[in-house]
Amino acid sequence: MPQVAIPVLLPLLMGAISLALHRHVAAQRWLGVIGTGALLASTLWLLHTVWHEGVVVMHMGDWEAPFGITLVADLLGAIMAVLTGIMGFATAVYSTATTPRGHEHFGHWPLLHLLLAGVAGAFLTGDIFNLYVWFEVMLLASFALLILGGERAQMEGAIKYVTLNLFSSMLFLSAVGITYGLVGTLNMADIAVKLADVDQPGLVTVLAVMYMVSFGIKAAAFPLFFWLPASYHTPPVAVSALFAGLLTKVGVYALYRVFTLIFTHEVDFTHEILLWGAGLTMLTGVLGAAAQFEVRRILSFHIISQIGYMIMGLALFTPLALVGGVFYIAHHIIVKTNLFLVAGAAYRLLGSYELRDLGGLYKHRPFLGFLFLVPALSLAGLPPLSGFLAKFLVIRAGVEEASWGIVFIALLTGLLTLYSMIKIWGEAFWHGTPEHVPERDVAALTGASPDRDLWKLYLPIVGLAALTLFIGLYAQPLYELAEASAKQLLDPQIYIDAVLGEGSS
Amino acid sequence: MEPLMAILVGVMFATALYMMLRRSIVKLIIGLILLSNAANLLFFTAAGLERGAPPLIPLDAEGPLGVVADPLPQALILTAIVIAFGVLSFALVLINKAYQVVQADDLDQMKDTDT
């Protein structure tokens, strides 16, 4: 069925057209908004199809699995694709008003499309080597987006980002090679079938750990996260927001895919490592954030701590834990992107990301204060927002498994997250404007007068905040989706039958 | 052949990691190049080496006669080489630009964004 190919092909096509229109920035902007809007619509169509008809499969070039490349959308893949669409659309609208003109001339828009193509491809492919290729598409686009502008901080951040991500890619490629040597296939469903018959448990476990480390770097899990806080705060805020929402989650998705479909033979060992990793990821992330006083850096460290909750859902590996994990991913992508967008709006108004230079926002812009509180309190997990339910589900799963250590860490992390969010609220919004700060020419710093096109900044923020509220107040639809996708994840046979055909194993 | 290749791959990985741990950004890039080649060779070796048997099917046969080399890993490695070429060219331009901005070939000078 073609639904599964459209979310991949559409951004590729849009990227190509944008590149051809490189002289016409206005046309690229329109194409950016329309293209990502169409991407969102196509992913919604895909989710609708998957929900009603089960796993959607398409064999490229009509080569039957396992010989050709297969695109597969199960519920998890489709949910992730929809989130890609939402984030792409929100950041595209936001970009029209915030991206410096120089960046647009040097390819901001084509790169944005290519990044989305890479992310969507990674979520929808059913072939492990193809997953590597999509990772690289996504990485190359993100490298270029990261350094557009060429400031010193961007260069330094990019060197760390590029090195560690390349290292992880090479590890991934080596693991794919060994997988191929072991089972002679690259189709993930076929690997899952054939790996069960491989009589070398030691080698299979080593392979599992290679995938774990490689995806762990991409997901910024402990202890491999150092590239993230070094680089995520350097590009323009719309790009940061997109990275924060989507890129690490591709790593998390790959972990979910590989450790529910392929490596389920030795759960006691692999998922135990994941559980330790999850706990330490939460703690280091949130403690790192507590020490920061730059809004984007605080938020970057919180990405890390939140990744811990998602991996915790996978590591506990019970039905409820996976429901919680999927729910958490969906909630987190929306909330985290939104927080970066709010930080960008504050920057537009005051010309700084440093907490000590900010202040008085609530007095002058009470509405922005409200818009910050919705995602911030949701991130910390306060009811009735989406984060409360997400945290509740994973922690409840931990309680049921009697994993008291991880439950304690998860609760503590929630508390410390609240501390960080209150810190931003207190310093940037509640406090008066600090006195020692010299008058800044905000318009010169941000390249636009504060009120110009401000609605374009508010529009995506309001939309995402509304989504957060909706999920919090009316969680049933997302919960049902997450529950059904967890069911699919726990029964790999559904995926395998859909790809290879009934009764093939 | 396989044991020799295994040792070669191991030495290449070790060299690559050693280079990446140096302070100089030029050596960092050399390490990345070695790393990508090591990964490709590992892929090649792990997929099985077959000497002097191209995967060609005679005109009147249904499939290849006898044991032939597996063409798939070769195609995959070709893809991986092209991707690595693109990424490493980018990395090369990046360190050149970083050198111009920072005025130093030293990773220890690049800690503005560290925490």
For residue range A411-436, list pLDDT tens digits in order: 999 999 999 999 999 988 888 877 76
User: A433 is written with which tokens?
Assistant: 């404007």
- pLDDT band with cut points at 50, 70 and 90 for residue A440: low
Rg value, chain A, Cα: 22
Q: Give the CATH number of the domain where residue B16 resides.
A: 1.10.287.3510
CA A311 to chain centre: 13
Quickly list H helices, A291-385: 295-316, 319-350, 361-364, 366-380
- Provide the b/e sequence for B87-98 (b: ≥16 CB within 10 Å): bbebbeebbebb
pLDDT in tens, A279-335: 999 999 999 999 999 999 999 999 999 999 999 999 999 999 999 999 999 999 999
Of B71, B68, B92, B4, the closest CA to residue B41 belongs to B4
Residue of chain B minimizing CA distance to A130: B76
Of A471, A472, A242, A464, the closest CA to residue A371 belongs to A464
- Judge whether A64 and A499 are in contact, CB under 8 Å: no
Residue A447's pLDDT is 66
Tell whether B25 is within 8 A of chain A (Cβ): yes
**Which residues neighbour B106 within 8 Å (Cβ) at sequence distance 6 or greater?**
B23, B24, B25
CA A165 to chain centre: 15
Residue A443's pLDDT is 67
- pLDDT band with cut points at 50, 70 and 90 for residue B41: very high
Averaged pLDDT of chain A: 91
Residue A19 pLDDT > 60 = yes
Tell whether A176 is within 8 A of chain B (Cβ): yes
Which residues of chain A make contact with B108, given a CB cutoff of 8 A? Answer: none
Residues constituting chain A = 505
Enter the ipTM.
Answer: 0.94
- pLDDT band with cut points at 50, 70 and 90 for residue A488: very high
Residue B61's pLDDT is 84
Which residues of chain B make contact with A181, given a CB cutoff of 8 A? Answer: 45-48
Number of domains into which chain B is organized: 1
Top pLDDT among A152 and A109 is at A109
Of A193, A67, A172, A195, the closest CA to residue B71 belongs to A67
Of A189, A11, A45, the closest CA to residue A117 belongs to A11
3-state secondary structure labels for all residues of A169-217: HHHHHHHHHHHHHHHCCCEHHHHHHHHCCCCCHHHHHHHHHHHHHHHHH
Residue A470 pLDDT > 80 = yes
User: A132 is written with which tokens?
Assistant: 């590597």
User: A391 is written with which tokens?
Assistant: 């945290």
Residue A134 pLDDT > 80 = yes
Residue of chain A minimizing CA distance to B91: A162
**Out of A133, A170, A171, closest to residue B79 by CB:** A133
Q: How many CB atoms lie within 10 A of CB A351?
A: 18
Domain-located, residue B56: no
Of A338, A347, A431, the closest CA to residue A385 belongs to A338
Q: Residues A331, A332, A334, A340: is their CA dihedral positive or negative? A: positive
**Out of A143, A181, A234, closest to residue B46 by CB:** A181
Rounded to a whole number, what is the distance in Å from the CA of A210 to chain B's nearest CA?
A: 13
**Which residues neighbour A366 within 8 Å (Cβ) at sequence distance 6 or greater?**
none
**Residue carrying the six token digits 């190509």:** A16
Distance CA A208, CA A22 (A): 44
Residues of chain A with pLDDT > 90, as a percent, come to 72
Tell whether A113 is within 8 A of chain B (Cβ): no
Residue B114's pLDDT is 66
Averaged pLDDT of chain B: 89
Q: Where are the domains of chain A?
A: 266-434+446-473
pLDDT in tens, A320-340: 999 999 999 999 999 999 999
Residue B88's pLDDT is 94
Residue A73 pLDDT > 80 = yes
B110 phi, psi to nearest 5 deg: -105, 65
Residue A455 pLDDT > 90 = no
pLDDT in tens, B81-105: 999 999 999 999 999 998 998 888 8
Residue A313's pLDDT is 94
Domain-located, residue B78: yes
pLDDT in tens, A162-218: 999 999 999 999 999 999 999 989 999 999 999 988 888 889 999 999 999 999 999
Which H or E element spans position A130?
helix A128-147
Which structural domain range is residue B77 located in? 2-50+71-107
User: B100 is written with which tokens?
Assistant: 């111009």
pLDDT in tens, A198-214: 888 889 999 999 999 99
Domain-located, residue B34: yes
- pLDDT band with cut points at 50, 70 and 90 for residue A95: very high
The residue ranges of DSSP E strands in A114-153, in sequence order, are none
Residue of chain B minimizing CA distance to A155: B98
User: A458 is written with which tokens?
Assistant: 């508010």
Tell whether A234 is within 8 A of chain B (Cβ): yes
Residues of chain A with pLDDT > 70, as a percent, come to 96
Top pLDDT among B102 and A91 is at A91
Tell whether B103 is within 8 A of chain A (Cβ): no
Tell whether B107 is within 8 A of chain A (Cβ): yes
- Judge whether A47 and A85 are in contact, CB under 8 Å: no
Tell whether A302 is within 8 A of chain B (Cβ): no
A240 phi, psi to nearest 5 deg: -55, -45
Residue A348 pLDDT > 90 = no
**Out of B35, B97, B98, closest to residue A170 by CB:** B35
Query: Mean per-residue pLDDT for A450-475?
Result: 89
Residue A255 pLDDT > 90 = yes
- pLDDT band with cut points at 50, 70 and 90 for residue B53: confident
CA geometry: angle A364, A447, A349, nearest 5 deg: 10
- Judge whether A120 and A84 are in contact, CB under 8 Å: yes
Distance CA B41, CA B35 (A): 10
- Provide the b/e sequence for A393-427 (b: ≥16 CB within 10 Å): bbbebbeebebeebbebbeebbebbbebbebbbeb
Residue of chain B minimizing CA distance to A290: B115
Which H or E element spans position B60?
none
User: Given an 8 Å threshold on Cβ–Cβ distance, is A155 in contact with B97?
Assistant: yes
Residue A441's pLDDT is 66
Distance CA A302, CA A418 (A): 11
Residues of chain B with pLDDT > 90, as a percent, come to 56
